[in-house]
Structure 1
Amino acid sequence: MTEPQVCVIIAARNAARTIPVAIASALREPEVAEVVVVDDASTDDTAKVARAADGGSGRLSVIRLDVNGGPSFARNAPLASSRSPFISILDADDFFLEGRFRELFASADWDFAADNIMMIRDDAATDVSKITAPRFSADPEFLDFERFIEGNISSRRVQRGELGFLKPVISRAFLDRHG
């Protein structure tokens, strides 16, 4: 991938504490053309803090919803205005590891891809560029319905990491074909 082609959508509600790390991790990626934060009627300074996190890149926009519509509504809100060929979802309390999109786009034969999740925790380091995650196999794992359901059953005393938490990258062509 030679030019930025990804729109990162960050749904946020009362996320003033964590949104700067999420935004910085997305803007750090050269494949990202735009980051859209959708403030889902927060009662804190989420929108203000998000705008301040841009750092002059010109790639960040913030949409403020007056009525809370929930995360799905907030994630869908910017789809019509973005023209990027790929859409990526990031929660306001998560972040991307550096090089995420480079690795995902190394294999171009997909419409929907996802990888590991990195959550912002109170006890975590604030410099996400120094955090590493366990590496997965380079071979893609294809999920059928049964495996996806099994992968979403949480266990007590185990760090949450169900498959539903994965952060997808979806081709716009796939979204256009399937609505």
Structure 2
Amino acid sequence: MNDPKISVIIPIYNAEKYIRKCLNSILLQRFPLEVICVDDCSTDSTPDILKEYAKNHSNVTVLRNDKNLYAGPSRNRGLEVAKGEYVHFMDSDDFVIPGSYAKLYKKAVANDLDMLKTRCIAFNAKNGLPLRKQYRFARFKSELYDTILDFHNRPEDLYCINVVPWNGIYKRSFLLEKNIRFNDLFCANDRSFYVAVCIKAKRVMITRPSFVFHRKNNGDSLVGKRAAHFDCDLNSFRLCEALCNDNNVNDKVRFEILEHELKNVFGWYKIFNEKGTVLPEHKFAIKELFSDDLIKYFEAQGEKSKWSAFKELIGNE
């Protein structure tokens, strides 16, 4: 296809159980798009499945990393070769609701949007049942749907939605011109991406229609994996703080970004604590991250910040 409207970029690693359903949900949509599959050194039958789809579908491109890069750099690699006016960063175990791309593209183009976010449907991977409160933007104000938003004026509203990359589409030229990319962390590689988009975008919109069915599995294996890579959450905080500093954001924006990164760090720490997976280096790493100046910053926010509760949690360890 010479002129795709949307490029769907999918980082893939050992997804043989889910990738067919994912790709079929995309390719069955009657809309001009391209699919860029970035295989991050899969060791199961995923490479063979991808070759099959590339052979049978002219709009499917398969790239394979020379070494394991993780999701962020894999998404970046797909972005570099994408041709669509907009891009969608899809997860390999999710699937798209029919008709979604046409609806989102029409709204994005009509409003010249840098980013269009919408709601998704999460379901429990173990039993297939929907998780009603996940990715539904319960705290987002109804009157703000389908209006142009500016993060610098209303940062609190754009943190009422999820920071994940797969619940929206992004103007490709905007990402390239503003040099916005995913970081290379094993996990938490999307948080700094969202912050960068919000800081640099001029035209953002949130709409209601559901877009993606997202597979959730909150098992102990995930907790163990996140605990082993807790440094990623700490480094994500540092990256987001640097974005605030480099872009000279206003005080309101800075607080929203840093407070939500703080909640992410300690949210995971609380889970690790409850599951007994806190590693000896966690507490030391947190003390290293939160300098005296940063602690004073959060303490100065008073009850607006969760710092006091987080400080109590760490102090009781």
> Do Structure 1 and Structure 2 share a fold, with TM-score over 0.5?
yes
Structure 1: state its 5+ residue gaps.
126-133, 152-161
Q: Assess, with a 3 A threshold, how the Cα gap between structure 1 residues 147 and 139 changes in structure 2: closer, same or farther.
A: closer
Aligned positions, number = 158
Task: Determine the structure 1 residue equivalent to 2:241.
Answer: none
Q: 1:33 and 1:102, CA in 2 relative to 1: closer, same or farther beyond 3 A?
A: closer
**CA offsets per residue over residues 1-34 of structure 1, 9 Å max, x none?**
xx74111001111111111111111112233421
Separation in 2, partners of 1:12, 1:57? 18
Greater strand percent: which structure? Answer: 1
Distance 2:76 2:9 in 1: 9
| Other structure's SS at 1:78 match | helix
Instruction: Structure 2: give runs of 5+ residues left out of the alignment.
Output: 130-135, 180-317
Match of 2:31 in 1: 31
RMSD between aligned alpha carbons?
A: 2.9
Match status 1:13 vs 2:16? no
Match of 1:128 in 2: none
Q: Quickly say closer, same or farther: Cα 1:119–1:62, change in 2 above 3 A.
A: farther
Q: Which residue of 1 aligns with 2:258?
A: none
Paired residue type of 1:22: C
Q: CA deviation at 1:163?
A: 4.2
Q: Deviations over 1:51-97 (max 9, x none)?
A: 32457221111111131111110001022222221111100011110
Does the CA-based 8 Å contact 1:8-1:88 persist in structure 2? yes
TM-score scaled by structure 1? 0.73
Deviation at 1:148, TM superposition (A): 4.2
Question: Residues of 1 paired with 2:53 and 2:122: CA distance?
Answer: 18
Aligned position for 2:72: 72
For the structure 1 residues 23 and 41, does the alpha-carbon distance in structure 2 shift closer, same or farther, using more than 3 Å as the test?
same
Q: In structure 2, the residue corresponding to 1:63 is in which secondary structure?
A: strand
- How many Å separate the matches in 1 of 2:122 and 2:48? 22
Correspondence for 1:158? none
Instruction: Tell me if the contact between 1:7 and 1:32 (Cα under 8 Å) persists in the aligned partners.
Output: no
**Pair 93,143 (structure 1): closer, same or farther in 2 beyond 3 Å:** farther
* Bigger proportion of residues as helix: 2
Moved more, 63-72 or 26-35: 26-35
In terms of Rg, which structure is larger?
Answer: 2
CA–CA separation in structure 2 for the residues paired with 1:21 and 1:53: 12
Partners of 2:63 and 2:157 lie apart in 1 by 36
Q: Find the counterpart in structure 2 of residue 91 from structure 1.
A: 91
Residue aligning to 1:146? 156
**CA distance 1:52–1:143, change in 2 (3 Å):** farther
Larger mean Cα displacement after TM superposition, 26-35 or 60-69: 26-35
